[in-house]
Amino acid sequence: MKMTNMLLLLILFGLIPSTFAQSSNSSKEPMIDPNCLNSLEVCQKQAAKREALRQRCAEDPVWCEERRARLKQEREERQALKKQCQANPAQCKELKRQYREKKKEERRKAKQPLKEAQAQWCADNPSDCERWKADKKTLGKECRKMRRQLEEKYPSRPH
């Protein structure tokens, strides 16, 4: 009797994980949050972003852990700001301004290595860099021209 029960349990537990694996792999579309109240398109976009994030975390767990730590730190900073504002309502506006300035400076510092890499690329590849700058200038002109056309098409729109 015990042997039969043990055998049935092993078979049952052996089949359950494979059943779940098949059901999760069979869906090609990301699962839409059942609590999403936005339009179907917005809910699908959100589901696609979550799926892309899930896949990136599966591929690069270190990046994922760093992201979680950064988000946790940002949440703690916002909560601290909220507590400071509750404790000193008169200083809240200034505290928020300082917080925004700090975040702006952090973003600027984060972009600095990219700017340096781009400058190095231009130094290493001067002909490509000049072509890139010329293409960028041309695209800027086209963009300004199209913006003017759009403003002419909708003259009553404030700008």
Split at pLDDT 50, 70, 90, the class of 33 is confident
**Residue ranges of the domains in the chain?**
127-159
129-149, pLDDT tens digit by residue? 999 999 999 999 999 999 999
pLDDT computed for residue 159 by the predictor: 77
pLDDT at 25: 43
Q: What is the pLDDT of residues 37-63, one digit of tens each?
A: 889 899 999 999 999 999 999 999 999
Q: How far is CA 55 from CA 30, 45, 75, 144, in A?
A: 11, 15, 24, 38
